[in-house]
Amino acid sequence: MRSLTAYLSAYPIVTALKLFAEGNHTVARDTAMQGLARLPVNESLIIMVSACDIYLGEYLAAQTALAQLSESSFAKWPENRAVIANNLALAIWLHGVNIPNHEESMTRADALSNLAYSLYPCTLAYRSTRSLLLTATNRADDALALLQYSNYSRGSGAERGDRQFARAFALHRLDRQEESNTALDEGLMLNKAPSRFLTRIGLLPRTPA
């Protein structure tokens, strides 16, 4: 029975991760949800669904699932706390982007991204999220400094693409539009999927240089 449970959880996780890395977030989410239908309390599948929800613009759904995980025993381990904090930071921030007077939620998102980054500063996803939140809270120069990290060269295409998107966002906020557009182009060559995210933060449609 234990080996069957392990298989039932591992197969949808591995498949969803592959689909997510390929930018196929809708099918990745569907795959993870099918896994949850069989194993409704599988935390890894819940995190995968939340990541897909963020890319698909379902920010409140992601927040709800992650908030429940953050109160569970799963969150007592630092690596689990970090991934919950990172995804929750993105969901809270992106949900509030076009909402006036959302300073309280921005403060919370900033603190969560800082928690994830402080726990695992070498994790490229957490570093990129931290950079985005630094820019969003008017610290674009600090964001660019954070992105000058040599280990990005060893990252996956998606991770290197996320770095370029974070650079483009910081440069855009600093009114360095030509450099921002170049970084955006480089990001899109590496990671073609996140157009909804890029539109949400004002990088698409692009601003003329």
pLDDT of residue 152: 98
Model confidence at 169, pLDDT cuts 50, 70, 90, reads very high
Q: Are the CB atoms for 203 and 179 separated by under 8 Å?
A: no
**Span of 7-16, 99-108, 124-133, 173-182 with lowest mean pLDDT:** 7-16
10 Å CB burial of residue 7 (0-12, 13-18, 19+) is exposed
CA–CA separation, 73 and 111 (whole Å): 21
pLDDT of residue 98: 79
**Residue 125 reports pLDDT greater than 90:** yes
pLDDT of residue 209: 66
| Better-scored residue on pLDDT, 208 or 191 | 191
**Residue 5 reports pLDDT greater than 80:** no
CA–CA separation, 168 and 181 (whole Å): 7
What is the tens place of the pLDDT at every residue in 55-84?
999 999 999 999 989 989 999 999 999 999
Q: Are the CB atoms for 177 and 209 separated by under 8 Å?
A: yes
Q: Which helix (H) or strand (E) segment is 19 a member of?
A: helix 2-21
- Tell me the mean pLDDT in the region 99-125: 94
**What count of other Cβ atoms lies within 10 Å of the Cβ of residue 68?**
13
Model confidence at 39, pLDDT cuts 50, 70, 90, reads confident
Q: Are the CB atoms for 56 and 25 separated by under 8 Å?
A: yes
Tokens of 124: 């490229």
Percent of the chain, pLDDT > 70?
95
CA–CA separation, 126 and 158 (whole Å): 13
CA–CA separation, 147 and 152 (whole Å): 8
